[in-house]
Each structure stands twice: as C-alpha cells, then as structure tokens.
Structure 1
C-alpha cells in the first residue's frame, strides 16, 4: 500500500473503533490528514471499499499474529489474544468486529462477507487453540471448543464496550476470569 493509503486505513480504523462505521465521513479523515476528499476517493471509491480495506488490514494483522503465536503453548496463545484486546481497550478502542457489528445490516454484500471472514478467522483460530489446549492438558472446559470460542470472543468484545462505561477494570476482571476458568 502507498503511504497515503496506509494512513487513510489507519485513520478509518481509529474512527470505526471509536465512533462506529456509519458515524464518520471522508471529511473526518481528510481534515486531520490535510488532504482532499478526492485523495481518499482515489484509493477507496466508496465508503464500503474503505471498510473492506480496514477489515483486510485487520485480517492480515490477525493472521500474522496467529502465525507467530503458533509455536507457543495454547495458554500463552490465548494470553496473547487477550493482550491484543487489552491494548485496544487501553487506547479507548473496541475491537473492530465489535464496532462493525451494530452497523452490519447497512453494509454492502461484499463488506458483510469481509466482516464474516474476519469473524470466522478469529473464531476458527480460537476454537482450534482451545481444542488443542484441552488435548494437551492446558485447558479444561465442557462442551464443544467452537461453543467455548464464541463465549470467549463475545466476553472479550463486550468487556471492552462495558469498560467504556464502567471503567477499565471491567476488561481486566473479565479477561482474568476467562483465563482462570480454563485452567485444568
């Protein structure tokens, strides 16, 4: 990506995580970057194209993280995921999927598909991590790993949202409980 395109994606990512997808315009990106709206339209003809660009960037980052974490024991991999969420919360962000979900029905079909791809990547990775951790004696839980993955991801997402209202300790309490409850 070009430097300008990267900066546009980063600014859009920030706005999505703090305000929501439908709450910002190209002007909200152009003004602080001191560029014209036309420069954004050059790289992203529609707002859906911009949304897809942000999601693709996030998918790429997640896949790179998951590849790095693959060599770690499963409990350490899960701790790394929690750290990513914690970093977002510390910066006043919520996770991208959690931020996009309320606006999901307003998205174009290609953007909906990209959000679903992101969600499936995370849940599938987490399901595999949990199942492998159970097999290797690092985790204990009842039921299907995919069901547990859904519980974990929704708890992490919602704890970031609640942290905005009730304070940062909410995320720490929820994430600590998640990790403790999985111990054999």
Structure 2
C-alpha cells in the first residue's frame, strides 16, 4: 500500500516538473502505474492533497540534504544547490518551485501556503548560506544576503526555463556567471 502511495507521489512530482500542475490529471498517473483512479483517490482524495504531498516530500528532501551539508564550507553548500538544479536541467525538468509558480493563483489557499512556505524555506537557506560564506570570505557581494538569494534563486529558476528553449548549455552559462559574480577571489 505504501509503495503505491510513493509511486503516485513520485509520478505526480515528475508530471508537475515536466508539464505543470494544471496540465495533468489522475488518469495521467493511473494509466502508467496500471492502477485505478480510485486507488489514487484512496491516498489523495483531491489533487490538492496530492500537490501538498509532493511539496512536503520536496521540502523533506531539501532539509535532509542541507542538514548533511551543514559542516561543509558554504561554497560547497551553494554548489549543492546549483548541482540540484543542474540535475533537473539534465532530466529536462523544471524545479518544483518554478513549475508550481505559474499555476499559483489557481491553487486553493492551503496549497498556496505550502508553496509559499517551501519557497521561503529555500530562500532562507540560500540567504543564510550566502551570508555565512560572505562572513568567512568565501563570497563577495554587495547588499543584503536575502536580496542576493532572490537573485540567485530567480536566475536558477530562469536557467531551467531558458534551457528548455535554448538548449542545455544555457544553464551552465548562467550558473557559471552567478558563481563568478559571487567569487571572493576576484
């Protein structure tokens, strides 16, 4: 039973990251998994419930990975973030935050709150990483670390979208420039 639930969440995650939240139905999950729609409704009575589960898993994964990296220097931690986005790029996916954002206004309040909370968690982590790295001389940038995190995250999100249109090399060009701009060894 738990395996079915995990497979549903995994496929929903993939569909959201490739098509978008509003561009798939339970049929798009039931057919490839060879289960009935009723099985999906058993675990997730509404699509909102499924969306929340996908967001919760993403946040849990991110929190676990960043906790493992906490002892690493901040430049290595930031590289993890970039590598995570690069993996999505190679898989032809958009990150969850980027794929949910266009449909945000169509979500029920509870899902909007989850997406906002996820986005805040990612930005807060990035800002903390940047500030600690700047204090240690690993990064160089002007202004508030949270504002810089907004720039980094928005560039990473955009790099995945542009890569879909202009080819995978765009991701590398954008991320390499971001890292150069932060490099304290200029």
What is the TM-score with the length of structure 2 in the denominator? Answer: 0.98
Hey, what does 1:57 align to over in structure 2? Answer: 57
Matches within 5 A, 1:97-176: 97-176=97-176
Separation in 1, partners of 2:2, 2:99: 26
Question: 1:86 is paired with a residue of what secondary structure?
Answer: helix
Separation in 1, partners of 2:133, 2:85: 20
- Shift, 1:69, TM fit: 1.1
CA deviation profile, 1:155-180 (whole Å, cap 9, x unmatched): 00000000000000010001111111
Separation in 1, partners of 2:69, 2:122: 13
Question: 2:100 is paired with a residue of what secondary structure?
Answer: helix
Aligned CA RMSD, in angstroms, stands at 0.7
What is the TM-score with the length of structure 1 in the denominator? Answer: 0.99
CA deviation profile, 1:104-143 (whole Å, cap 9, x unmatched): 0000111001001110000000000000000000000000
Question: 1:61 is paired with a residue of what secondary structure?
Answer: helix
Unaligned 5+ residue runs, structure 1? none
Equivalent residues, number? 184
Hey, what does 1:82 align to over in structure 2? Answer: 82
Hey, what does 2:182 align to over in structure 1? Answer: 182
Separation in 2, partners of 1:118, 1:180: 27
Hey, what does 2:5 align to over in structure 1? Answer: 5
Separation in 1, partners of 2:15, 2:71: 34
Separation in 1, partners of 2:76, 2:143: 22
Separation in 2, partners of 1:67, 1:30: 35
Separation in 2, partners of 1:141, 1:65: 25
Hey, what does 2:34 align to over in structure 1? Answer: 34
Q: Which runs of 4+ in 1 moved over 2 A?
A: none
